[in-house]
């Protein structure tokens, strides 16, 4: 269970750059958003063969009767949540940092994959084993791999990267960029040119926005 607590890339070069598996960057070498953006490997994206079902979710990995969605709701509630039989979360208090709204009914919340499943596929997960994709889709070992947010903002985001979508709450954007980059670095995912350029622009406005992550192992832990 989780707990609460390149601008300037030549587009011509991108068109001939193959999609390669990223080489993970040691987490100790990255402490700020700007450093994290510079560490992202640049590669073209491909959605060939993508199906959402390639990422099995929401599972009960630890066999405690709570699936991944419920685990996130329990972990992120600001008060003790109401949990009924079968680990059904029915009430609590959740802050959706994308839009600054507080909700007390879980039905208004989606659990957002910080880097959407389709984007992960495009960025390297197409080469993973099914087990690693399942681990990615249910990553409870990193605080911001999964986040409870309003359904409206999650569905507005869909499978977009930061070049085309950012949280509507301006004050959330530096945190969001750091969470996005940390997730890509954790899982060894790449970025394409528009994405990297957008992240670079953001980093320039975010000062020394901190960034921290741990590398996922082969099975995701």
Say if 98 falls within a structural domain.
no
Say if 89 falls within a structural domain.
no
Say if 91 falls within a structural domain.
no
pLDDT in tens, 57-91: 999 999 999 999 999 999 999 999 999 999 999 99
Q: 19-28, 30-39, 67-76, 152-161: lowest mean pLDDT where?
A: 19-28
pLDDT in tens, 107-141: 999 999 999 999 999 999 999 999 999 999 999 99
Say if 116 falls within a structural domain.
yes
Grade residue 33 by pLDDT with cuts at 50, 70 and 90.
very high
What SS3 string covers the chain? CCCCCCCCCCHHHHHCCCCCCCCCCCHHHCCEHHHHHHHCCECCCCCCCCCHHHCCCCCCCCCCCCCHHHHHHHHHCCCCCEEECCCEEEECCEEECCCCEEECCHHHEEEEECCCHHHHHHCCHHHCCHHHHHHHHCCCCCCCCEEEEEHHHHHHHCCCCCCCCCCCCHHHHHHHHHHHHHHHHHHCCCECHHHHHHHHHHHHHCCCCECCCCCCCCCCC
Say if 6 falls within a structural domain.
no
Grade residue 9 by pLDDT with cuts at 50, 70 and 90.
very low
Report pTM. Answer: 0.87
| Residues spanned by the domain of 124 | 11-15+22-45+52-59+111-205
**If you average pLDDT over every residue of the chain, what do you get?**
89
Work out how many domains the chain is built from and give that number: 1
């Amino acid at each position: 269970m989780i707990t609460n607590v390149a601008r300037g890339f030549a587009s011509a070069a991108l068109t001939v750059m193959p999609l390669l598996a990223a080489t993970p960057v040691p987490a100790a070498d990255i402490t700020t958003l700007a450093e994290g953006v510079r560490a992202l490997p640049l590669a073209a994206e491909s959605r060939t063969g993508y199906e959402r079902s390639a990422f099995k979710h929401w599972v009960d990995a630890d066999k405690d009767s709570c699936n991944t969605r419920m685990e996130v709701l329990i972990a992120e509630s600001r008060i003790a949540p109401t949990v009924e039989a079968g680990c059904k979360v029915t009430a609590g208090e959740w802050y959706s940092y994308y839009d600054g709204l507080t909700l007390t009914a879980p039905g208004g919340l989606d659990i957002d994959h910080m880097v959407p499943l389709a984007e992960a596929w495009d960025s390297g997960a197409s080469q993973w084993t099914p087990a690693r994709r399942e681990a990615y889709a249910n990553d409870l070992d990193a605080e911001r791999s999964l986040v409870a947010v309003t359904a409206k903002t999650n569905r507005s985001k869909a499978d977009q990267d930061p070049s085309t979508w950012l949280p509507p709450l301006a004050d959330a954007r530096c945190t969001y960029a750091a969470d996005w980059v940390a997730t890509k670095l954790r899982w060894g995912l790449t970025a394409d040119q528009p994405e990297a350029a957008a992240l670079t622009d953001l980093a320039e406005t975010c000062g020394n926005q901190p960034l921290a992550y741990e590398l996922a192992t082969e099975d995701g832990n």
